[in-house]
A and B are shown apart, each in its own frame.
Chain A
Amino acid sequence: MEMIVASAIGVLTAGGIYLILRLRAFPVILGMALLSYAVNVFLFSTGRLAINAPPILNKYADVSYSDPLPQALVLTAIVISFGMTAVLVMIALGAYLEADSDEINLADPEDDAHNNEGQGA
């Protein structure tokens, strides 16, 4: 099971990084989503992998339990990354509608245009 979880995290991270490097709004958003899935699974596994173990201590019986803290952390991380993705989509949409291009880099020609405008004035 360790192998499956570890490789899942690895593949998700690799895919996420590849998509982010595309520097286009849509792939980048997908890449960020993949990366946040990867980190969620990773966080989940930091409390060690355990199957069929509730995150509750039982004082009447000596049964195994799983670490509840990473589960709480993952919940927080999911909520935050969901909210952030929503913000990212909104800003990307705004930038696309405003600039008519979905590239995520500040092109230099913009600078020059600005500059020439300034010198001409």
Chain B
Amino acid sequence: MNHWIIAPVILPALLAPVIAYVMRHDIKLARWASMAGTLALVAVAVGLTVMAEDGQTHVYYLGDWPAPFGIVLVLDRLSAMMVLLTSVLALVVLWHAIATEWDNRGRHFHALFQFQLMGVSGAFLTGDAFNLFVFFEVLLIASYGLMIHGGGKVRLKAGLQYVVMNLAGSTLFLFALGALYASTGTLNIADLADKVRTLPTDETAVLRVSAVLLLMVFAIKAALFPVQFWLPGTYSNAPAPVAAMFAIMTKVGAYAIIRFYTIVFGPDVSAVDGLIGNWLMPAAVITIAVGAIGVLGARRLMPMLSFAVVGSMGTLLLAVSAFTPEAIAAALYYLLHSTFAAAALFLLADLIVSRRGGDALSVQPPIVQNGLFAAFFFVGAIGVTGMPPLSGFLGKLLVMDGVRDMSWMGVAWAAILIGSLVTIVGFARAGSVIFWKATAFEASEADASEEVTTVGVNAFVGVGLALAMLAALSIFAGPTMAFLEGTAWQLFDVPDYVDAVLGEHGEDLK
């Protein structure tokens, strides 16, 4: 039993209260502590990923209680990769928040940020369905605080809406877990996988209900149609670094869908029998459409980016809905890509919006360093819309290749291609309104109105890092895909997972 597995949960969990209680009056100290904690988290996540790369499923028994009774944390390739993604994203976002002084506009930013990291890491690592609920609540309650960080009328109203939406989602989650427990008598994921496959067919009615309820819950988190409506309002009114961090929150939903509907309710389970894929696929197609139309119709920059996130979640879940190892590997690649693409654009939008009068997509005098921002926006837009040479293109290509054998392959391809085209048009329009048409103003007119404040290098580091991740993902696409294919195959090797978790302790029971 390797104790490092629980480190991504323990580390932020211990750091957050210290920041909240000891460093509450010293923002500098809090920044150093938060940064050091996040760096340590990245180091631990790298270590765990290297450890998981051997393809084994590492299990951590909390309090050394045997598996179906105690809570387990499970480290396999997927959870290690997701924790690594979280920690790297956190580093990028934290840098930006510190460089732009966002963390100083309200109280307790760093403590909430660490609690959020704890919740997200825990959700990725846990091997117990009820524990997943608890970590969801941890990450949500931290996100409520981050969402209304800095305050303001519109932000508080948007925050209230977000809280109510997620509370309803949590209640639904509990109903689903109750139904799951009532029909199987366990909530350990490995044990569930075992029980679900051995349950007599005529006793699976409640099980099917819980499978669909769980899908609904995860769909709320992943912003899937018809429960995507909370996302644009939330992301566009959240503080920009927080919106960038929220890029991982939708992925928590996607992760839970991937985890649950391969291992517990996999395609081989007769009780649900393709039910999930059949519902997920059309929902994902409509989500792509909603995202693309939203990007085209948005009149402000932040909602436009939010709709781009909705669209990318559609593409991601479309690949997931095929439930084949190839498609899941493609989905995971796209997941990595879309997280960094969304984060890069939100961080960049923060720099742009703070230098213009609001985030309306209207022609205004050019901002200082107009060309530099335009170049960054261009790169980010290429990434998020899926044009070569960045990883969005490769990701969409892989997704299309992954869903090739699907029965509705024509619809899926059309959705991805038309969705991309519409999104490109939307981003091209936004880019030309903000950067290009602005140059029509007389230079003197713009200079006279305000003092010139150039942006320091520090503020660009966050955006630059996120974009560099996109570049790295496309340059090292081969090794990444090799790892992800291994990950996907590991997901479909259910007996291996069940044996690893229940293994030695499982035999004691018999």
Q: Is the pair B152, A115 in contact by a Cβ cutoff of 8 Å?
A: no
Q: Which of B114-160 contact A (CB under 8 A)?
A: 130, 134, 137, 141, 144, 148, 151-154, 156-160
Please determine whether A118 and B233 come into contact, CB atoms closer than 8 angstroms.
Answer: no
Rounded to whole Å, the gap between the CB of A75 and the closest CB of chain B is: 12
Query: B residues near A, CB below 8 A?
Result: 130, 134, 137, 141, 144, 148, 151-154, 156-161, 163-164, 167-168, 170-171, 174-175, 177-179, 181-182, 187, 233, 237, 299-300, 356-360, 362, 364
Chain A residues with Cβ under 8 A from B154's Cβ? 99, 106, 110, 114
How many residues from A make CB contacts under 8 Å with B? 41
Q: Report whether B160 and A95 are in contact in the complex, using a CB–CB cutoff of 8 Å.
A: yes
Q: Closest CB of chain B to A89's CB: distance in Å? A: 10
A residues 74-88 touching B (CB-CB < 8 Å): 76-77, 80-81, 83-84, 87-88
In the complex the two chains form, is A115's CB within 8 Å of B299's CB? yes
The reply to whether A32 and B168 contact each other, CB–CB distance below 8 Å, is: yes
Would you call A62 an interface residue if the criterion is a C-beta within 8 Å of the partner chain's C-beta atoms?
no
- Of chain B, the residue at the smallest CB distance from A120 is B357
- Given A95-B159, A118-B358, are A88 and B167 neighbors across the interface (CB < 8 Å)? yes
- Min CB distance A90 to B, Å, is 9
CB atoms of B160 and A42 under 8 A apart = no
Out of B160, B171, B357, which one reaches A25, CB within 8 Å? B160
Known A39-B175, A43-B178, A88-B167; judge A106-B358 contact (CB<8 A): no
Decide if B360 touches A118 in the complex (CB within 8 Å).
yes
Taken together as a complex, chains A and B put the C-alpha atoms of A115 and B154 apart, in Å, by: 14
Q: Chain B nearest CB: distance from A5 CB in Å? A: 13
> Do A84 and B170 touch across chains, with their CB atoms under 8 A apart?
yes
Taking CB atoms, residues of chain B closer than 8 Å to A83 are: 141
What A residues does B137 contact at CB under 8 A?
80, 84
| Contact A91:B151 (CB < 8 A) given known A46-B181, A76-B130 | no
Q: Is the CB of B178 within 8 A of A121?
A: no
Interface residues of A in 52-92 (CB under 8 A from B): 69-70, 73, 76-77, 80-81, 83-84, 87-88, 91-92
Contacts of A32 in B (CB 8 A): 164, 167-168, 171
Q: How far is the CB of A117 from chain B (nearest CB, A)?
A: 6
Interface of A is mostly: helix
Q: Report the bound CA distance from A76 to B158 in whole Å.
A: 28
- Output the nearest chain A residue to B166 by Cβ-Cβ distance: A84
Query: A residues within 8 Å of B by Cβ?
Result: 20, 25, 28, 32, 35-36, 38-39, 42-43, 45-47, 69-70, 73, 76-77, 80-81, 83-84, 87-88, 91-92, 94-95, 98-99, 104-106, 110-111, 114-115, 117-119, 121
Per the bound structure, the CA–CA distance linking A121 and B353 in Å amounts to 13
Q: What are 15 sample pairs from A and B whose C-beta atoms fall under 8 A apart?
A: A32-B171, A35-B171, A45-B178, A76-B130, A77-B174, A80-B170, A84-B141, A87-B141, A91-B163, A95-B156, A98-B151, A99-B156, A110-B154, A117-B358, A118-B358
Supplied contacts A69-B181, A98-B157, 17 more A-B pairs, CB within 8 Å: A38-B171, A39-B178, A43-B177, A45-B178, A46-B182, A69-B187, A73-B130, A84-B141, A88-B160, A91-B144, A91-B163, A94-B156, A111-B299, A114-B300, A114-B358, A114-B360, A121-B358
